[in-house]
Chains A and B, each alone.
Chain A
Amino acid sequence: MMLEAISDTLIQTSFGQFIYNQNLAFLAPELVISLTLLMTFALSLAKTQVDQAKSWGIALLGSVVALVSIVMHYQLFYTGQVSASQSVMFGMFEADLLSVVSRFILTLGFILILHLSKRFVETRLPSQTGEFYTLLLTAFLGALLLCGANDMIMAFVALETLGISSYILTGYLRNNLKSTEASLKYLVYGGCSSAVLLFGLALIYGLAGGSTSFAVLPQALSQASDLGAWASLAIVMILAGIGFKVSAAPFHTWTPDVYEGSPTPITAFLSVISKLAAFVFAIRLLTPFAGVGNENVALLIGLLAVLSMIVGNVAALKQTNIKRLLGYSTIAHAGYMLVGLAALTQNSLGALLFYLATYVFMNTGAFASAMIGDELLASEEISAYSGLIKAKPWFVFAFSIFLLGLAGIPISAGFFAKFFLFQSVVLSDLGNLGVIIIALLASTVSLYYYLNIIKVMVIGEPSEQVQRLIGEGKDSAWNLSKTLTLATVICLIFTLGLGIFGQSGLLISESAMSDHGATVTQNLR
């Protein structure tokens, strides 16, 4: 009663009216995260490390609440209490099923990355804990907003929020030369790509007749009988910007260095959260082009895809550092996902979203394993993992599952995700079979380097570090970070389960896309 009375009075106020009219309730996750980051920011001013350490718990609590609010939002859709698409803040933000599903995956991924960060921050950055989580939450906020951004300005601000926080985070190990190098490289590349993207958006703004909203794009594009040179230029520029974010070749050159130099949790963040958000942004921006001038857009994306698959997989063959190798592997994965984007059909985009979901767990799992490996062996070199199965068999099992998942070998989710993605692309048009064969050949190559790591761990002679581990036996003083272990186990469960029981996940992804397609353009098949 009290509560209703309060809400009734609140809604009468002009601010209350604003919230109600602009559907701000659908921004609950973002609002929660904003509050959380203000709290961690306040905590970062605390002098003692004990107080600072609390910021991890606050960040976790905030993201769990955000997750719950997303689930509640989905519940409202599911029971039909709210219609599929809700415009928030004068159409700046589209609270549709696509944004709900992608933000759900994003938040899950972020919670995992918080688990990866805990021990790392405690040991490496004890006095900057508060700052670290504040920046991480800011970047995450940017990613969340990007998932629903339906307006060029909104999208660009979200992209920069994500980007600028990431530039700082990559350089967080201040005394480490490689980390500094990573930060600088990422900043310079990121700045340039943002400028190019902005130029592209400006051209689109002109094409759309002076509106920044994505919503007017389909109509504007269908009225233009022929996409002129300007539109093509705009698309090229936008693809360059997106290509940078998802680390697709030839805009990938920053990836290996940044991945190697950054703190590992941040590397995982870049490869998972950044990439997912950028793909959702790309889906929102590019679906209006389905059916109109589709061939050129598809051709360009396809070209990026093929290049990424080849460059990523071939370059990964010679890597000896595990983080660098995973860096090249994400380039290759960006290639596979771009194949789904290029087809631009409801099913292929749905399968792409499902692929992204499985990728979040496989790749976070792989980075979590790399972190455990670093804690165990104090090395990021693959040769140090030699013979590890004799000391830590279960760790080797988990790591192998993640790697096989990335390679697309059954029974992991990676196999299913790849199959669904490629199948949906071919089912939309048999002519795509050629690209799919290239993708499959590329993933054949990829198995070589993934399998190589497994081979080293399973059949190699124990390396020095591993011999020390074996010598210590069960009474080793070393204790594994509990949060890191938990994250790895969760990733493992999802990597194994998402494929076998993944139907509902795929269906939700597909319905998200059909919902999105229905609101945006009739041309999306």
Chain B
Amino acid sequence: MNNLLPLIVGFPFLVAGVFPFLSKAEDASTQKGLHRIALGASVVLLLLTGLLALSPEAQTATFNLSWLPALGINFSLGTDGISTTLAVLTSLLMVLATGASISTIEKRLPLYYSLLFVLIGSVLGVFLSRDLFLFFLFFELELIPMYLLISTWGGPRREYAAMKFVLYTLFGSVFLLASIIGLAYFSQSYHLPTETLFSFTQLGALAQSGYIPPVFQLLLFVGFFIAFAVKLPIVPLHTWLPDAHVEAPTPISMLLAGILLKMGAYGLLRFGFDWFPVAAQALAPYIGVLAFINIVYTGSIALVQTDMKKLIAYSSVSHMGFILLALVAMNQVGTMAAVFIMVSHGLVSAALFLGVGTLYRQTHSREIALHGGVAQKAPFIFYTFLLMSLASLGLPLLISFAGETLALYGAFISESFRAIPLGFVTLPINIQWITGLSALGIVLGAAYSLWLVKRIFFGAVSDACQKLEDAKLNEVWVLGTLAVLVIVLGFKPQLLTSQFESSTQAIGKRFEQVLVQRDQALLQQLQGYSPQNGVSQNLPMGGQ
């Protein structure tokens, strides 16, 4: 039992409950006070998660509270390397988003912070849950605050964008819930203990055991996959993301790109791939193609954007494609790369959105064409934005380099699929081909990032940028913190990987085992004998 866990999840909700009672006055001093309270609270939250990450049981802490035992629902929290890492990332970005709010959010602060803390509490709940019902509850709970945050403080088309976000996510949740209930059905039909019907360990063991009929494994995997494909997002379910990112206020864009997309990646890794490795490897060819499309297609779209925020939003989708590729690799390196990119993209995209946000705050325009020569007017923004763009395109010694290189390497040495069966024809395209083609994404990334920097920061100072000032104090420390992290973790990625290495290795080993078993079965099928006893036998395989 670890009492830090319920504190970490409960604290944001507690803070959210306090804010509505604070002063609603909109004068400068009250607002300053409210911002400070929020900042203080989020720093406390960061300290709590930091304490968890540094404690000796960072990888093993659990907290169990019997909630609705008759229904098999427990208030069960726990950590492993991945959960802890993402929890720390969440609370860190919360501090930075609160910092960014100081200069961007001016109206209805108590409501704003109340919603923001509910949002963060539910995201932490998602990452730390060890009960599938609880996970689903937090996964849904995050919707309404996000909806109100975008539609109240967002840009001109905010209501449309917010509604689109909610409906898309809820559409995904339909399949998530169907899969959860389906899994519970099998748990019940094998007479597993009903008191822990929804616990991760029990359902995970059942799913991995292979006792579920293959067809249903496939269906359950597809259910989880669709749900998290909306969240990640994966083409063609990605269209909510550019709208939501563009219309959301700067701090919310930071959180959306920084942590909310990671909920999708986390779910895919934990429930999709880890629980149904056999189904995952069966579908790996198609998911691999989706990853390639994600990387290259959205990367190309990013190239032609005229709106700065939209460009970064599409680049986010493109980077999420690398996570998907790393997962499809289904080996230890790939799994580690996936988690690494979750963190690196979280930091880099948050910084990019804030950089653009500082310009938008002053020029009230996101059009690239209206900006120019910003480097002369705002050198700090320029340097940090340049650094982040370089990090985003994967420059060595900056944080993304390790992640993306690992992802490509992991996919390249992977054996997850050797051809793409399309029913009547089998395309001889293996994952190495897909990886090679996906590497184009790096080139595209360099192109759109550098071109964006060139168009905004260089050249003559445009009319809109004449009165531009450099970043405000709060933006300076937020961007500064992110820059330091991007450089330090770029030089020494072990600092980060050591946090989750053992967890991803365990998952990766399970993947590799599944692939080895598949290849052995194939070998048996081809040679017609079983290596154990050497006796020729007819194997009960289909299609012979």
Contacts and interface: CB of A to CB of B under 8 A. Distances in A.
A interacts with B: yes
A359 interface: no
Interface in B67-83: 67-71
Contacts of A145: none
A440 B178 contact: yes
B140 interface: yes
A427 B170 CA distance: 22
A459 B148 contact: yes
A444 B185 contact: no
B331 interface: no
Contacts of B69: 503
Interface string A382-409: 0000000100010000000000100001
Interface stretch (A179-187, A230-238, A414-422): A414-422
A451 B163 contact: yes
Contacts of A503: 67-71
B166 A451 contact: yes
What secondary structure prevails in chain B residues at the interface with A? helix
A448 B167 contact: yes
Interface string A79-93: 000000000000000
Interface string A440-471: 11001001100100110011000000000000
Contact of B152 (A409, A415, A444, A459): A459
B174 A426 contact: no
A458 B148 contact: yes
What secondary structure prevails in chain A residues at the interface with B? helix
Interface in A422-442: 422-423, 426-427, 430, 433, 436-437, 440-441
Contacts of B111: 389, 458
A422 B71 contact: no
Contacts of B477: none
Contacts of A419: 133, 177
B70 A507 contact: yes
A462 to B, nearest CB: 13
B167 A444 contact: yes
Interface string B125-154: 000000001000110110110011001100
Nearest to A459: B152
Contacts of B188: 427
Contacts of A71: none
Contacts of B137: 410-411, 415
Contacts of B148: 454-455, 458-459
Nearest to B122: A410
A170 B192 CA distance: 52
A396 to B, nearest CB: 10
A368 B272 CA distance: 44
B354 to A, nearest CB: 24
Interface string B469-488: 00000000000000000000
Nearest to B170: A444
Contacts of A139: none
Interface in B89-122: 111
Contacts of B144: 404, 409, 451
B10 interface: no
A249 interface: no
B155 interface: no
B141 A426 contact: no
Interface string B155-167: 0000100010011
A423 B73 CA distance: 12
A433 B171 contact: no
Contacts of A433: 178, 181-182
A506 interface: yes
Contacts of A423: 181, 184
Contacts of B50: none
Interface residues of B, number: 34
B20 interface: yes
Given A423-B184, A427-B188, A507-B70, A437 B174 contact: yes
Given A404-B144, A411-B137, A427 B171 contact: no
Contacts of B171: 441, 444
A447 B167 contact: yes
Given A410-B140, A419-B133, A444 B174 contact: yes
Given A415-B140, A422-B177, A444-B174, A430 B71 contact: no
A106 B177 CA distance: 31
A340 to B, nearest CB: 14
Contact of A458 (B143, B152, B174): B152
B22 to A, nearest CB: 12
Nearest to B72: A423
A128 to B, nearest CB: 42
Contact of A440 (B70, B152, B174): B174
A440 B148 CA distance: 22
A506 B181 contact: no
Nearest to A510: B70
Contacts of A430: 182, 185
Contact of B174 (A420, A441, A451): A441
Contacts of B151: 455, 459
A447 to B, nearest CB: 6
A507 B194 CA distance: 14
Contacts of B70: 503, 506-507
Contacts of A451: 144, 147, 163, 166
Nearest to B137: A410
Interface string A490-511: 0000000000001100110000
Interface string A354-369: 0000000000000000
Cβ-closest 8 pairs across A and B: A440-B174, A444-B170, A503-B68, A426-B181, A459-B152, A410-B137, A410-B141, A423-B181
Interface of A: 389, 393, 404, 409-411, 415, 419-420, 422-423, 426-427, 430, 433, 436-437, 440-441, 444, 447-448, 451, 454-455, 458-459, 502-503, 506-507
21 contacts: A393-B20, A410-B138, A415-B140, A420-B71, A422-B177, A422-B181, A426-B185, A427-B184, A427-B188, A433-B178, A444-B174, A447-B167, A447-B170, A448-B163, A448-B167, A451-B163, A458-B148, A459-B148, A459-B151, A459-B152, A506-B71
Given A422-B181, A458-B148, 12 more contacts: A409-B140, A410-B138, A415-B137, A422-B177, A437-B178, A440-B178, A441-B171, A444-B173, A454-B148, A459-B159, A503-B67, A503-B70
